Structure 1
Amino acid sequence: MDTITSAHGLVPLSTVATNDQVELDSLPLELQLELKRLKDDFTVDSKRLKHIVSQFQEELQAGLDKYGSNISMNATWVLGFPSGTERGKFLVVDLGGTNIRVCWIELRGREEELLITQDEFRLPDELKTGEAQPLWDFIADSLETFIAKHDLGGSEEEPLQLGFTFSYPCHQEYIDHGKLVTWTKGFEIKGVEGEDAVGQLREAMAKRNLPIRLVALINDTTGAMIASSYTDPQTIIGAIFGTGCNGAYMENVGSIGKLDTQLPQDTPMAINCEYGAFDNAHTALPRTSYDVTVDEESPKPGEQAFEKMSAGLYLGEIFRLILLELHGKGIMFKGQDVSKLREPYLLDTGFLSGVEHNANPGMLFDSPTRDAFKQKLNLDISDKEIVFVRRTAQLISIRGARLCSCGIAAICKKKGITSGHVAADGSVANKHPEFKRRWAKAMAEVLDWPGDRKEDPITITSAEDGSGIGAAVIVAMTLKRAKEGNLAGIREK
């Protein structure tokens, strides 16, 4: 019997479904009507999913054929999957959305556990929207602090080998080069777009005489795929379901029409899709008025259409906009001060997940949801409103998970992939308790998996640290093939 866990133990899903309907029927008519409207707006059925996936395939191919396409399909110069025998000690710096993370990683082969030492450095908010130089200085200072703290040494003759995880759309002519196409994830730093981010970091490190050789620029999605395949040969795709959304997979060089290279046509190369930009023309995705508002009020209106409907950075914001609208209609939080609710991006996906899962079934509203609304928004929420917000959170999260399946399904259909593991990193994939189940259900609908299957042929596995371990493995792979004389995509030093 299927169950969920509540504060009172295991509760049968059938009971929860029954209680849900009783609760929904007990709502005031105005909330019932609003909930019906939201359900209509946020439901993406199988037919619509298949239409989205079909257009997704077309945009993926367009990105391989020519530069300047909607989905950029960036060549990474990561040639093939790792063998699992890569060894060595490597430095990694990872520019995330909130922190700079610096790692010292010792790879010891697939059969032995790797060793990792890491520190995080909080990225000041003002650096996310300022000038370029303070950003690179901060990263270089973080590297210098880390090297000194852990006594890593390094010299001009034997520099520390560095992988730079930079998870933003870049055009890479070489593996140690990356011209930033556009900032995403709320960053808007002047003087970087259109420039080589690697070159700018190198200059900042050179000013400090750091004993570092920057070997490879890595996107976290590619890193997730490589890190997982290092230990799991069944890995087929890397994915990020977190603050942003993206996918990476192996494509034959001969299928990358825009690439000018002498490599054999069947050489596999990792492609960083950057498919958060899918459907920027707004012809396939079922956008709501809330999605339009999120886009128009973002730092990059008209860009990253798919990401703004499916990624963790935006799901809580959509939820906030719904609540604010209903307050404005006089339907929710009547007579209360909603000044906190007016703060953009105050609510994250963790809040959304909590609202969905904290309320106990059966009208038992001594739940953490009430406390969460009071602490985060200074709002007193009624029993009826708890029923409404829980269902609204479900609708938003279900739509997000179903849309997230589309990019992966499109890659699988394009490449004829029928089984394997999707190595997923990101808070939504790894922390939302219902995401994987909802994602798998949508995959089954799009790919027409048989209803009597004993297991799903394509499943999500956790890529625990693609941005760190993956970067180290890619550095090892790059140094190895350079030593063997394969310099494709490697700048000569």
Structure 2
Amino acid sequence: MPTSPEQLTRYEKIESFVKGFKLSSLTYKRVMSLLDEEMKNGLRSQTNTYADIKMFPTFVRSLPNGSEKGQFLALDLGGTNFRVLLVKLDGNSIDIQSKTYLIPQKIMLGTGAQLFDHIADCIAKFTRDHGLLGERLPLGFTFSFPCKQEGLNIARLSKWTKGFRCEGVVGQDICRLLHEALKKKTSAEIEIVAVVNDAVGTLMSTAHGDNNCEIGLILGTGCNACYMERLENVGLWEGDYSYPEQVVINTEWGAFGDNGCLDFIRTEYDRELDTFSINPGKQLMEKMISGMYLGEIVRLVLERLTTEGLLFRGIDRECELFERGRFFTKYVSEIESDRDEFFRSTKQVLDELQVENYTTEDCKIVRYICTLVSSRAAFLASSGLATLINKLGRPEMTIAVDGSLYRFHPRFHNLMRLKIQELVKPGLKFSLALSHDGSGKGAALVAAVAMRLRDVKQELCDNGI
């Protein structure tokens, strides 16, 4: 804390530039109320067209029951790399082998054909390396971008996010595009049984061993959530109403605020980040929470404080701190991991950014800015989860969480746990569970459950039932 009058004035000025990140509990409750209303608009058939939160039914009707058996492929595509997995299930026993492949920037910004050909090439190599040629392999496809699903294995891309901009894919069935690429690239008999996003995979993975899990959350490059909803509340549902009368809903809540309803909490830094993003005016809640953006928000604040003469006095304006996108979100986690007065991680980050002649006071301010930005992100995510917990009203609830931001940030778990406890209705208990390999294992489990239900249906038909 400042001790001298000069320091007091400095900190008072800094506070005037960052006060927008400090939101009251009443403000977060207002966010919850707005989110609840927006989710209702997404669920209603008469309001879904103009709703920003699309609340897509995923056609995943059942969670794992432990009887799933067999050998399954899983494909996890959701960022700048993707994974191919071979998952062997035998009840509660699971064996997973996987390999990660990179997606070059030119492919992220190229054509859809280039993207899916690249993915199919990698899957073909994976099946060869694992001796799977000639095998019949059901595949669960985790595709972590907004889609409108028309069936368990039919999903049309609504829009690209996370830096992707492959032409010719929006509006197309991504399963068909992958299937056509696989036919060209491999001789293995691969059937795309199910397509899910990473939130659904995360939910399925944790639900495999926890019957109280009905919510999945991703806090990584992007931010999204899913949950199990009663069919009677899903106005968009066009499938059958057979038991169980429920379906997992992919909220796509990253778009919350795109209609302007969150403008009252957005800061000048949020607006600048949005203006220079590849999708201005879109995914506004995600831009305040996810790992793709938090580092840049911190950088913008540090840049402003430096320009105002409140930080890094005498800094070289050519250093990398002034370069857009150069302050990575991993820096935020590293800086907040500093627990003593030596600021080892903070100093290492500043050195990497070519900041010279910084003081211990500068390091304190940098860490403070990181805590403000990450705390707001954790509290906004908590507001979303509290809204879902209150909506479901279960006496005990497990929330499956995955993503690099949640995994590696030193305070996110505890910040969220405390804020959710403050926001949920009295008497409702919850726990946050780190999902292990949700987007990979979870996709395979969706495929396994689909195959199990298909076998049951076939058996009933064979018996004339």
Q: TM-score, length-normalised on structure 1?
A: 0.88
What one-letter code is carried by the residue in structure 1 that aligns with 2:387? A
Contact 1:374 1:380 in 2 (8 A): no
- Alpha-carbon contact 1:425-1:462 (below 8 Å) kept: yes
Tell me by how many angstroms 1:172 deviates.
0.6
Q: Tell me, what secondary structure is at the counterpart of 2:399?
A: strand
| Whole-angstrom distance in 2 between the partners of 1:27 and 1:255 | 59
Matches within 5 A, 1:333-344: 333-339=312-318, 340-344=320-324
* Aligned counterpart for 2:382 among listed residues 405, 415, 440: 405
Q: CA deviation at 1:313?
A: 1.2
Worse-matched range after superposition: 205-214 or 178-187:
205-214
User: Size of the alignment, in residue pairs?
Assistant: 453
Q: In the alignment, which of 416, 421, 440 is matched to residue 468 of structure 1?
A: 440
Q: For the structure 1 residues 419 and 70, does the alpha-carbon distance in structure 2 shift closer, same or farther, using more than 3 Å as the test?
A: same
Unaligned 5+ segments in structure 2 are: 460-465
Indicate which of 238, 247, 253 corresponds to 1:275.
253
Q: Does the 8 A contact of 2:200 with 2:248 survive in 1?
A: yes
Q: Which of residues 52, 55, 75 in structure 1 aligns to 2:57?
A: 75
Kindly provide the amino acid, as one letter, of the partner of residue 100 in structure 2.
Answer: E
1:83 shift after superposition: 0.7
Matched, 1:65 2:44: yes
Residue equivalent to 2:271: 292
Q: Which amino acid aligns with 2:198?
A: D
1:484 maps to which of 436, 456, 459: 456
Across the aligned residues of Structure 1 and Structure 2, the Cα RMSD in angstroms comes to 2.0
1:433 to partner: Cα distance: 1.6
Using the size of structure 2 for normalisation, the TM-score is 0.93
2-side partners of 1:332 and 1:481: how far apart? 61
The answer for unaligned runs of 5 or more in structure 1 is: 1-20, 451-455, 488-493
Whole-angstrom CA distance in 2 between matches of 1:27 and 1:352: 28
Deviation at 1:209, TM superposition (A): 4.2
**Which residue does the alignment assign to 2:34?**
55
Superposed displacement of residue 459, structure 1:
1.6
Aligned to 2:192, what secondary structure does the other structure show? strand
In the TM superposition, what are the counterparts of 1:13-412 in structure 2 within 5 Å?
21=1, 23=2, 28-29=7-8, 31-66=10-45, 67-68=48-49, 69-110=51-92, 112=93, 114-155=94-135, 159-211=136-188, 212-264=190-242, 267-284=245-262, 286-339=265-318, 340-358=320-338, 360=340, 364-365=341-342, 367-412=344-389
**1:21-67 residue CA offsets vs partner (Å, 9 max, x unmatched):** 3x576873553123312442101211011111011111111111134
Change (3 A) 1:39 1:440: farther
User: How many Å separate the matches in 1 of 2:65 and 2:426?
Assistant: 31
C-alpha distance in 2 between matches for 1:394 and 1:436: 14
- Distance in 2 (alpha carbons) for counterparts of 1:223 and 1:85: 18
Shift of 1:366: 5.8
Structure 1 residue 448, shift from structure 2 partner: 4.8
Cα distance in 1 for residues equivalent to 2:458 and 2:8: 69
Q: Find the aligned partners of 1:106 and 1:27 in 2 and give their Cα distance.
A: 65
Alpha carbons of 1:188 and 1:101: their partners in 2 closer, same or farther (altered >3 Å)?
Answer: same
Q: Which residue of 1 aligns with 2:462?
A: none
> How many angstroms does 1:266 deviate by?
5.7
Q: CA deviation at 1:457?
A: 1.8
Alpha-carbon spacing, 1:99–1:25, altered in 2? closer, same or farther (3 Å) = farther
Task: Indicate the SS of the match to 2:151.
Answer: coil
Q: 1:56 to 1:25 in 2, by over 3 A?
A: farther
- 1:402-444 CA distance string (max 9 Å, x none): 0001111111222223422110001121211211111122112
Equivalent position amino acid for 1:75 in 2: P
Summarize the Cα distance change of 1:468–1:477 in structure 2 as closer, same or farther, 3 Å threshold.
same
Question: Whole-Å Cα distance in 2 between the matches of residues 219 and 24 of structure 1?
Answer: 51
Q: Residue type of the partner of 2:44?
A: D
Kindly provide the amino acid, as one letter, of the partner of residue 265 in structure 2.
P
Letter in 1 for 2:159: T
